[in-house]
Chain A
Amino acid sequence: MTATETPTTATGGAFGQRLLRKEDPRLLTGEARFVDDLQIPGALWMAMVRSPYAHARIRSIDATAALDMPGVRHVFTGADLAGDWADPMPCAWPVTEDIKIPAHWPVAKDKACYVGDIVAVVVAEDRYQAADAVDAVVVDYEPLEAVVEIEDAASDRVVVHEDLGTNRSYTWTLAPDPEAVERAFAEAAHTVSETYLQQRLIPVAMEPRGVAAVPGVHGGDITVYSSTQIPHILKVMIAATCGVPEHKVRVVAPAVGGGFGSKLNVYAEELIAVALARRLGAPTRWTETRTENAVATIQGRGQVQHMELAADAEGRVTAVRARITADMGAYLQLVTPGIPLLGAFLYHGVYDVPAYHFECTGVFTNRTPTDAYRGAGRPEATYAIERAMDALAREVGVDPAEIRRRNYIPPDRFPYESIAGLTYDSGDYEPTLDRALELVGYEELRAEQARRRAAGETTHLGIGISTYVEMCGLAPSRVLASLNYAAGGWEAASVRVLPTGKVQVVSGTTPHGQGHETSWSQIVADRLGIDPADVEVLHSDTAVSPLGMDTYGSRSLPVGGVAVAMATDQVIAKARAIAAHQLECAEDDLELVDGQLRVRGTPSRSMSLQAVAFEAFSAHDLPDGMEPNLTAQVSYDPPNFVFPFGTHVAVVEVDEETGRVDLVDYAAVDDCGPQVNPMIVEGQLHGGIVQGAAQALWQEAVCDEDGNLRNPTLVDYGVPSAAELPPFKLDHTVTPSPTNPLGVKGIGEAGTIGAAPAVVNAIVDALSPFGITDIAMPATPERVWAAIQQARSGSAGDGEGAP
């Protein structure tokens, strides 16, 4: 099913099939190679000496004892390596002209600014020896007071980077009509004013990061294997920061074990591996430990959100005002300052709102830098508006489903010009709400909830709704330019039909679990009318796929997959020209059916795609002036974002005696346009929902006042297992995007975006008899129990009695 007419394509039928994944067999058998699996003769192992202090001056470093240990070859400090860098570590998204960006070196020189900041590097013959020697490097620190809370950091009581003079990195404002917002609040029949905390999250890709750098000592080249989502961007950044000529750099992302944004970055260890491989003339490698990952890999979220709504007497929202303070952590990583901006346009969500104000201040703290984590800005925005809509429903006195119905952008308003300046491509929100409510049995649940309350039962039922829209498919390059992003948002693909008729696709996207090899094969096979098994997708190696902008921001299908389709169509156009020439007919007389180019009405006159490919290869009899070979390459810059949407409904039980919350049912009805492979879409949603629900219920990077992460291991950071989760009920609607020829929208982040507000709204709903209107995430039993106790004592005080 395609959204728009594509007259050159055949309908092979592979698009939309639940095709089993081509990636699976090698992953199921141990044949796939992750970075740490690579056997690299002569490689030296690196281990990082990391600051145990969140904020400390480095007085001196004594590596004598470490250097005496078995197998230890070198120890390098920040001062030792100061000459190895052409530039500091990159921040590609300086969101304002006056943004403050601290110098960020791969190895700290004078001062450590967070627990985990690298202060020295040990190089040894094997990984055990390197790890042993870390503890023998003696660093003399002068501990300084740390600042770890967002609003404390904004006060500049303690300044992380003295040379900047403030912790305020930037303030970014989107205020299309400030007077309209003031007027709306002045005239409002109802207002809502809420504060939400987006706790910091540890992304926890199951594969910790790893890197290996293999230098060509005589050739001057270097090959870098990294567990990265962004081999193409990393290649450019290695050239820029390490001063290696870019044409001498090859980056390979072999099998990559999940990313969720955490591998969308340029990390110190990658740059250190390159610098030391060049300096030592030997391969260098490093694999992160899980405990290291908790502080050394970027974290997500970390915001305080002040959210206000104005509404008329019926609860129609007349203005949204959102003021955010966002925790950058100690430094600006690749796109740290831009993360809140990815949500900046979406604080009015799926609702038709005429007045809007957004502002965000990014502040430095003595914590691990934040950056993209699944959803990146959009879960935060959706959480704020969807929690606030429930607050408005309480204020107006209507059902949370009803408040949404009154405010949804109506389907006849698409493409919808939003007050924040976006053009939502397509949407029809209410049917997703209707279906999600039906899947959980909303009316019955409300009746059961009322029954339990009337009976005084202590296990409370709560139902929570969230309807989201996401801007994804990053991104139109000109829009990125207007937001001060340093690069573009295009994607590249090439398609080549080999002399034997088999097809190779080269994609600039870099899958790490998303199944692009399968989905891109389906897109190509569908258009060519061939078997997806006859298509091979090559990716994630800059020597094989020289052009690309990689995988993040739910961009791979709506940008990269579209590029694949467009390249396929160019191949088909060329094949038609060759076949028309050889069959002595007009191109318009040809139809492509089941991999055959046939003359309409005369099926006996035909050429197989394979025969055409061989003619293109032999080049014996091509139309005058035509280049040999049946290949095409496309760089596609999308004209707009795409806007998938949906409604998620969570059902929880809350035990008032213990504060325990059980997620007992969950329905998600999502719309990402036509689905290339529904099986893969469902898988993305399952995993995404769990990451959003986990933010709501279990996960937080907890740190003490000195900046020590208190839960750096999987023993105490709450990654849920199968035992904590219910099965999810999924359904979908199909509203194609008019902006790309496949009509497709991204789906990788949608589950996470929809889930957290649905779950927290459900918990607040369950606790409403106590008068509770907020529970901070994660809603641990302790927090829920404490809220109930506080509500009881408070309500006893004002004479209303406990429920």
Chain B
Amino acid sequence: MEITLSVNGVERTSDVEPRRLLVHHLRDDLGLTGTNVGCDTSSCGACTVLLDGESVKSCTILAVQADGHEVTTIEGLAAASGNGGPGALHPVQQAFHTQHGLQCGFCTPGMVMAAVSLLEENPNPTEEDVRLGLEGNLCRCTGYQNIVRAVLAAAGEVRA
């Protein structure tokens, strides 16, 4: 089936199998490999992207379901926030860096996208809000402590 997605602000038209998952379309067809696949049960959140601005696990939807919609992946996040230019980071990415919110980095793109969406919905979260809000994203390295700190720090940045 032919589908057209706006991916990181660029129209991308492709012919895909109806059963193709959005995450495989992004990774294997469009070469956007920043979005990772960490499980096969929609449990880990490594594949989280923004669909029309809201976080979604891109392994839970088919590419054809995203036809006509806007997708933001980790590769386009900084530009989407107006922080354009090579090397630029979105405030949430920057906070993960500053607070040591990542180690191996495999869960990180999904975790960052989930955090962006969380702060969009709740710009002033408590620690409890952040912990509950990120429940769908698993990390095995950090014990979450610095991820939570990063999201709280980013909230401060975004508010300021």
Residues from 1 to 33 in B contacting A, C-beta threshold 8 Å: 17, 19-20, 24, 27-28, 31-33
Contact A721 B134, CB 8 Å, known A29-B78, A713-B41: yes
Shortest Cβ distance from A129 into chain B, in angstroms?
11
Instruction: Please determine whether A29 and B141 come into contact, CB atoms closer than 8 angstroms.
Output: no
Partner of B44, one of A291, A513, A714: A714
- Chain A residues whose C-beta falls within 8 Å of the C-beta of B93 in the assembled complex: 28-29
Interface string of B136-148 (1 = CB under 8 A from A): 1111111111111
Point out the residues of chain B lying under 8 angstroms from A686, CB to CB.
142-146
Q: Are A24 and B97 in contact (CB under 8 A)?
A: yes
CB distance from B58 to the nearest CB of A (A): 13
Interface string of B48-81 (1 = CB under 8 A from A): 0000000000000000000000000111011000
Size band of the B side of the interface? 35 or more
A683 touches B141 (CB 8 A): yes
Q: Do B74 and A290 touch (CB < 8 A)?
A: no
* Contact status B138-A721, CB under 8 Å: yes
Contact of B87 among A25, A32, A714, A719 (CB under 8 A): A25
Q: A28-B96, A727-B148 are in contact. Are A204 and B140 (CB under 8 A)?
A: yes
The closest CB in chain A to the CB of B148 belongs to A722
Contact flags A510-537 to B (C-beta < 8 A → 1, else 0): 0011110000000000000000000000
How far, in angstroms, from A682 to B141 measured CA to CA in the complex? Answer: 11
Looking at the complex, which one of B32, B74, B106 makes contact with A207 (CB distance below 8 Å)?
A: B106
Cα distance A36–B142 when bound, in Å? 23
Mostly, the B contact residues are loop
Q: Mark A17-40, 1 if CB is under 8 A from B, else 0.
A: 000110111011111111011010
* Set of chain A residues within 8 Å of B145, measured between Cβ atoms: 686, 725, 727-728
In residues 698-719 of chain A, which contact B (Cβ within 8 Å)? 713-715, 719
> A515: which B residues are within 8 A, CB to CB?
103
Cβ of A687 < 8 Å from any Cβ of B?
yes
CB-nearest residue of chain A to B88? A29
Please measure, in the bound complex, the distance between the C-alpha atom of A260 and the C-alpha atom of B43, giving whole angstroms: 20
Q: Which residue of A lies closest to B138 (CB)?
A: A719
Q: Assign chain A's interface to a size class.
A: 35 or more
- Does A208 sit within 8 A of B, measured CB to CB? yes
Whether A28 contacts B38 in the complex (CB less than 8 A), given A721-B134, A722-B135, comes out as: no
Output the nearest chain A residue to B93 by Cβ-Cβ distance. Answer: A28
Bound-state Cα–Cα, A522 to B98, Å: 17
A245 to B75, CA, bound (A): 40
Chain A residues, Cβ within 8 Å of B121: none
List B residues 113-129 near A (Cβ within 8 Å): 127
Whether A687 contacts B141 in the complex (CB less than 8 A), given A20-B100, A679-B100, A722-B135, comes out as yes
| Complex Cα–Cα for A30 and B106 (A) | 9
User: Cβ of B24: which chain A residues have Cβ within 8 Å of it?
Assistant: 128
What would 15 A/B residue contacts be, using CB atoms closer than 8 Å?
A21-B97, A28-B109, A36-B37, A207-B104, A291-B41, A513-B103, A684-B103, A685-B143, A687-B141, A687-B142, A691-B140, A714-B41, A714-B43, A715-B41, A722-B132
B binding-site residues for A, Cβ under 8 Å: 17, 19-20, 24, 27-28, 31-41, 43-44, 46, 73-75, 77-78, 87, 89, 93, 96-98, 100, 102-109, 112, 127, 130-132, 134-148
